[in-house]
Amino acid sequence: MNTSNGSSMITRPSNNTNKKKPAIEPDDDGWVTILSRQSRKEAKRKSRIVQQYTINDLPNSVLVHILSFLPTIQAAQTSVLSMRWKYLWTYVPALIIKGYGYNGAYKMQKLLQFCRSSYLRQISLMLQSPFDHESCIKWVDFAMKHKEVEELNLLLMNRNRFNMHTPSSLPRNIFSHSQSLRVLVLYGCELRNIGEVDLRNVRKLHFKKVDVVGNLLNDLLAACPRAEILKLEYSDSVTDLSANLPELKKLKLRECNKMKSARLTVPNLQVVKIEDSFESGIECFQLCGMVNLMEAYIIHNGDGDYRVYNSKYQVYANLLQILGQAKQLTVKCSSLEIMYNWSQVIADCSAMKVTRFELVNLDDCHDISSFILALLKKLPNLEEFRLHKIRDMDDRNFLRAEEASNGPNYGDSLPIDCLQQCLKRISIVDYNNEKLEFELVKFLLQNSIVLENICFLNCFGELKDYLELIEVLETCKASPKVEIVFEDDLETSVYSDHSDASDFSYATS
C-alpha cells in the first residue's frame, strides 16, 4: 500500500470472517463429500433442470395423442387432475368402449356427446352380452355419418338364452359414408342387405365369425380396390370367395369350413396363410397373378377319420403347387398320422421355387422318411431346411449313436439337386436321437456337398449320447466346412405370425 511520502508498507491480510466454508454433504452411499460454493450452485441448477420437465410441460397436441391410446373411460378419468386436464380428453380422436351389459350403449351415448374432435381416428366398440344392440348400432351409424372415421372395430359378443353366439345385424347404408375409412374389423356381425357401399380407401379388412348372406362379401371386397390386408376367420357362411384385389399384400384364411372355391387376383401378394382342418376340402383354390410371393403357410388343424383326409389329398397338392412359388414355405400339421397319401401329394407337384422350407410337428407319421425324400426332390433351390419332431409310428426304439446300423434305404433316392448344389443350413428341432432321426441326419450330411451348418435345437437325452453322436457325424460330413451345433432356442419356428396380434384386447377364439 502506497503512503503519502512515497514509501510502501506491507499490511497483513485480515481474516475474512464472512467467507463461507465448503458444505459437507453425505452422498447416497454415506460418503461425505466437501462441495464448494460453485459446485453447490451447479448441483442446484441441474436439479431445477431435471424437475422442470414434467408431463404438464408437454403441448396439448402431444397429451391428446397419448390419451388416444387409452380406453375412453380411462381417458375421461384424467379430467380430475387439474383445470387444464378437465376437457383435454374431449379432443381425443378415438372412441374406445369396452363394456359388459347394457351400460355399454349408455356410456357410448354420453361419451359421443362430449367428443369435440372433427374426426375420429378410431372407433372400437367391444361389448359382451347382454347389451342394447339397437342403441349401440345407432350410435355407430351416427358416428360414421357425422365424423371422419379412419378405423372401425366392432366386437359384439351377443349370446342368446342358450348361450349360443348370435350375430349382430349392421344397419343398412352403414358403409355409404365411409370415404375416410382405412381399417374395418368386424367380429360377430351379420352382413345382410347393407345397401350402398363406399370403401374406396380401406387398407385393412378383418372379418371374424361374420355371418354373410349370399355373395355379399364379394360385393364388399369389390368396393375395396386398395385393400392391402385381408383376414377371414371362422366364417362358415362363406362358400365362394371371388375378388380382384390389385394392391393386396397379406392374405389369411382360417377355418372357413364351408368354403368350396376361392378365386383371387392378387398380383402384389407377399404373404399368404391358409389355416384349416380341410374336412370339406376347397374344390377350387386359385391365386392369380402372383409375382412376388415371399412367405406362405399351410396349417393343418384337423383330427378325424383318415379316409376323409385321404380323399382330399388333391387339396393339399393344389395348395403346395400354388404356394410353392413363395421363397419361404411352412407346412404345419397337427395330426399327420391320419394322412397316408403325403407321398402322392408331393408326386403330383412340380418343382417349387422355395429357398427356405419348414416342416412343423412331423410327429407320429407313417413312412415320413419317404415323404421327406420326395419333398427334397421337388425343392431344387432349397438353401435352408428346418424340421420339427421327426417321429415315425413304425419306429419307436430309442437309438444311441453307436447302435445305428439298419435304417431306411436312401440308396435309390439320389441324385437330389438341392443337396448337390445349394442346401447350406439344416435345423433339427426337438431332436430325440431315435433311429429315423439319426439315419436322416446321417444321409443329409453324407450328401450335402455345400452344407455350412447343421443345428440341433432343444434336444432330448443325456449329454454323453450327443457327444458320441457328434463323433459319429463328424465322420459322415461330405462338406469340409460344415459346423455341427447343439443349442437351446426358445423361438424355434418361423411359424409365429407376428402380424396376427388380436385387434381386440379380450377377443376370444
Instruction: Report the alpha-carbon distance of residue 291 to residue 126 in Å, rounded.
Output: 39
51-60, 331-340, 499-508: range with lowest mean pLDDT? 499-508
Residue 398's pLDDT is what? 32
240-244 vs 211-212, strand pairing mode: unpaired
**DSSP H/E element including 405:** none
pLDDT band for 357, please (50, 70, 90 cuts): very high
User: 24 pairs with which residues across the strands?
Assistant: 34
Q: Which phi and psi angles does 503 have, rounded to 5°?
A: -80, -10
Cis ω for the linkage preceding 130 (within 30 of 0)? yes
Average pLDDT over residues 16-24: 50
Instruction: Report the alpha-carbon distance of residue 311 to residue 341 in Å, rounded.
Output: 9
Instruction: Report the alpha-carbon distance of residue 378 to residue 413 in Å, rounded.
Output: 12
Residue 139's pLDDT is what? 75
Record the cell numbers describing residue 134, joined without a space: 339397437
177-181, 216-220, 244-248, 332-336: range with lowest mean pLDDT? 332-336
Q: Which tens digits make up the pLDDT trace of 321-335?
A: 889 999 999 988 755
Instruction: Report the alpha-carbon distance of residue 179 to residue 346 in Å, rounded.
Output: 46
271-276 vs 384-388, strand pairing mode: unpaired
CA-based torsion, 15, 17, 18, 21: positive or negative:
positive
Instruction: Report the alpha-carbon distance of residue 271 to residue 253 in Å, rounded.
Output: 12
Contact assessment for residue 212 and residue 237, using Cβ atoms and an 8 Å cutoff: yes
Task: Return the percent helix, strand and coil in the chain, to nearest 5.
Answer: 30, 25, 45
82-91, 258-267, 494-503: range with lowest mean pLDDT? 494-503
Residue 380's pLDDT is what? 93
Instruction: Report the alpha-carbon distance of residue 509 to residue 301 in Å, rounded.
Output: 14
User: 483 pairs with which residues across the strands?
Assistant: 453
pLDDT band for 396, please (50, 70, 90 cuts): very low
Contact assessment for residue 170 and residue 138, using Cβ atoms and an 8 Å cutoff: no
Residue 15's pLDDT is what? 52
Residue 100's pLDDT is what? 58
Of 331, 333, 349, 279, the closest CA to residue 307 belongs to 279
Q: Which residue has the higher pLDDT, 283 or 305?
A: 283
Q: Which tens digits make up the pLDDT trace of 142-156?
A: 777 767 888 988 887
Max intra-chain CA distance, the chain: 130
Contact assessment for residue 467 and residue 500, using Cβ atoms and an 8 Å cutoff: no
Domains (ranges, CATH) in the chain? 355-493 (3.80.10)
Helix axes 133-146, 103-114, angle to 10 degrees: 20
Residue owning grid cell 402431444: 62
What is the number of alpha carbons within 13 Å of residue 159 lying toward its C-beta? Answer: 9
Distances (CA, A) of 323 to 198, 250, 270, 273: 32, 13, 11, 9
Residue 272's pLDDT is what? 96
pLDDT band for 367, please (50, 70, 90 cuts): low
CB atoms within 10 A of CB 229: 17
Residue 265's pLDDT is what? 94
Residue 165's pLDDT is what? 58
**DSSP H/E element including 315:** helix 313-323
Q: Which residue has the higher pLDDT, 491 or 212?
A: 212
Of 414, 391, 404, the closest CA to residue 460 belongs to 391
Q: Which residue has the higher pLDDT, 37 or 252?
A: 252
Q: Which tens digits make up the pLDDT trace of 53-91?
A: 678 888 988 998 899 888 888 888 898 988 889 888 888
In sequence order, what are the residues at sequence separation of 6 or more whose Cβ sits closer than 8 angstroms to the Cβ of residue 462? none
Instruction: Report the alpha-carbon distance of residue 253 to residue 297 in Å, rounded.
Output: 10
Residue 404 clears pLDDT 50, i.e. is over it: no
Residue 483's pLDDT is what? 92
Residue 248's pLDDT is what? 96
**DSSP H/E element including 473:** helix 463-474
Instruction: Report the alpha-carbon distance of residue 372 to residue 436 in Å, rounded.
Output: 12
Per-residue DSSP letters for 408-458?
---GGG---HHHHHT--EEEEES---BHHHHHHHHHHHHH-TT--EEEEES
CA-based torsion, 411, 415, 416, 422: positive or negative:
positive
Residue 195 clears pLDDT 60, i.e. is over it: yes
Contact assessment for residue 292 and residue 270, using Cβ atoms and an 8 Å cutoff: yes
What single letter denotes the amino acid at residue 247? E
Residues in the chain: 509
Of 414, 410, 464, 459, the closest CA to residue 433 belongs to 459
Residue 409's pLDDT is what? 53
Contact assessment for residue 67 and residue 91, using Cβ atoms and an 8 Å cutoff: no
206-215, 370-379, 403-412: range with lowest mean pLDDT? 403-412
Distances (CA, A) of 115 to 58, 109, 146, 308, 502: 22, 10, 12, 56, 27
Q: Mean pLDDT for the chain?
A: 75
Q: Which tens digits make up the pLDDT trace of 30-61?
A: 444 455 566 666 776 666 655 566 788 889 88
Instruction: Report the alpha-carbon distance of residue 475 to residue 477 in Å, rounded.
Output: 6
Q: Which phi and psi angles does 386 have, rounded to 5°?
A: -125, 130
